Amino acid sequence: RDARDDAVSRRRALALACGAVVARPIVARDDAARAMFNADLDKPIEDGPRAIATTLAAKAALADVLAQNDLFRDTCEAPVFACDLSQLNVKTSSRVSGPLRRSLPTLSEMYGADPYAVDSVLQNVSTLEAIFKANNARVKVDFKGGPEMIGLINQGLEELYNDLPADALAAGRAVFEACDLAVDATAEGDLECRIARAVSQNKRPSGGQS
């Protein structure tokens, strides 16, 4: 049994663990919606540096989600909540959940990251999506649960980064930081750069669940 067999086994185990919580793709409806990237969930990002760069982009998207959650907390008053709460879930599902499900398993396969730690991050992402979906239903709007879960996701990602070889993490950061943020976020390009541009340009995805 060689290293390639071990890598395949790790990917299969992680796929089984995560299969029950894979988010559904969101259909783009216009140019703004093309800043949503929850596609090709069955196509892992197998290039190591690009996989790391994609997780960094998802982390940047999480910061944007957190900022919008805080804005809604301060400006979206009960009982009407007259703001588009679906934006939180749409952004999380498309810019965080989908990209992480394509990239995190590669950290296990290529760099030996703990697959259970990877699964823990993805489970927390699923919980975050559930919180935002419930908020959008307006049965009970909770602006505290999202930030708490984002904190756990960020903590999990940082722990994974700490276990990566320093040169691999540096290579991934270099890929992410090389993204030209002046390019239109709706233009074709690598996933990590499209996410980074959408966040930098404050693109608001359309659609969502009503």
**Over the stretch 178-205, which tens digit does the pLDDT of each residue have?**
999 999 998 999 999 999 999 999 987 7
Query: Confidence class of residue 131 from pLDDT cuts 50, 70 and 90?
Result: very high
Residue 46 has pLDDT above 80, yes or no: yes
Q: Of 82, 61, 98, whose CA–CA distance to 196 is shortest?
A: 61
* pTM for this model (two decimals): 0.80
Tokens of 104: 């995190």
Residue 206 has pLDDT above 50, yes or no: yes
For residues 179 and 166, give the distance between their C-alpha atoms in angstroms, rounded to a whole number.
Answer: 21
For residues 181 and 101, give the distance between their C-alpha atoms in angstroms, rounded to a whole number.
Answer: 24
User: For the chain, how many residues are written?
Assistant: 210
Residue 116 has pLDDT above 90, yes or no: yes
Q: Of 115, 91, 133, 97, whose CA–CA distance to 10 is shortest?
A: 115
Residue 74 has pLDDT above 70, yes or no: yes
Task: Rounding to the nearest 10 degrees, give the CA dihedral for residues 163, 152, 90, 94.
Answer: 10
